[in-house]
Amino acid sequence: MKRLPLFFAFLFLLIIGKLDAQTEYKKPLFQASIKSQKAIVENKGQYADINGKKVLFTNFDNQEEFYFTNSGLIIKLDTVLYKKPWAKKLKDVFEKERETEKEFFKETSFYLYAEWQNTNPDVKIEASEKTDGDYIFGMYKALCNGYKKITYKNIYPNIDIEYTMPSDSSGIKYNIILHPGADASNISLKYSGDVTNMFSDNNGNIVIKTPLHNIIEHSPKSFYSDATGDVASAYILRDNIITFYISENNQNKTLVIDPWISGITGYTNPYGY
């Protein structure tokens, strides 16, 4: 008897659905239980290689998944495809009916590769600032450490790159640290994969358009590590490759370039969500 109301709910939605065209609707798929963690977690086999690139560390944010490799970052965007306009209502009714979901919904992923170009092939990647506790991943029984920061040491001559998770916002931050003697012209970051377009906006940000939502490389802030003042800097974009303009670089000081990557879902999603 408990199944009877469920049957009529399904029948009602089915009748409504026949009036609609079979179109696809896209919406971000969230995994809050994992993605709420502000930690960069080591990979001990719980995550496979992605497109032949070995995954060393991972982080799950509210809108994106970040995978760290020897050459930089892979950003994964997950979505649910609703095969019919009324399928979302049906999903709410049959939340626990997995077979029904498979018939009307499809999960898919998009991948962006943010990779540093012409880097040191022997770059050393160090994790630091260990977080409290450990992370266990299901059937793999992998007891993994979490960290607040990972550093690509000497990725270019006299240049380190640090990745951290901002505590007060989504996305990921990275610092490019130019030690004395470093040449900023060596630094270049290429975006590839599911990138539909890239452009600079009026605020000096780089907008990376994807099939799901935009990724933003926020305009960099640059300064000397001894706090002697800010240094004017900006992105240069050409053929999906980002380089950096630096107004000055005192070769006797350490210069820090401080960008921030985030996802924007509001006005950019062409599917109405």
pLDDT tens, position by position, 58-81: 887 666 789 999 999 999 988 766
Q: Which of 155, 149, 212 is nearest to 189 (CA)?
A: 155
What pLDDT score was predicted for residue 96? 52
- Looking at the whole model, is its pTM more than 0.95? no
Q: What is the mean pLDDT of residues 156-167?
A: 90
Q: Which residue has the higher pLDDT, 40 or 205?
A: 205
What pLDDT score was predicted for residue 31? 37
DSSP 3-state of 79: strand
Average pLDDT, the chain: 77
Contact 242, 234 (CB under 8 A): no
Contact 36, 132 (CB under 8 A): no
* pLDDT at residue 264 greater than cutoff 80: no
Q: Which residue has the higher pLDDT, 16 or 257?
A: 257
What pLDDT score was predicted for residue 25? 36
Model confidence at 226, pLDDT cuts 50, 70, 90, reads confident
What pLDDT score was predicted for residue 228? 72
* DSSP-assigned letter for residue 133: E
Q: Which residue has the higher pLDDT, 192 or 169?
A: 192
What pLDDT score was predicted for residue 34? 45
High-pLDDT (> 90) share of the chain, % = 44
Q: Is 117 exposed, middle or buried (0-12, 13-18, 19+ CB in 10 A)?
A: middle
**116 has which bridge partners?**
189
Contact 241, 141 (CB under 8 A): no
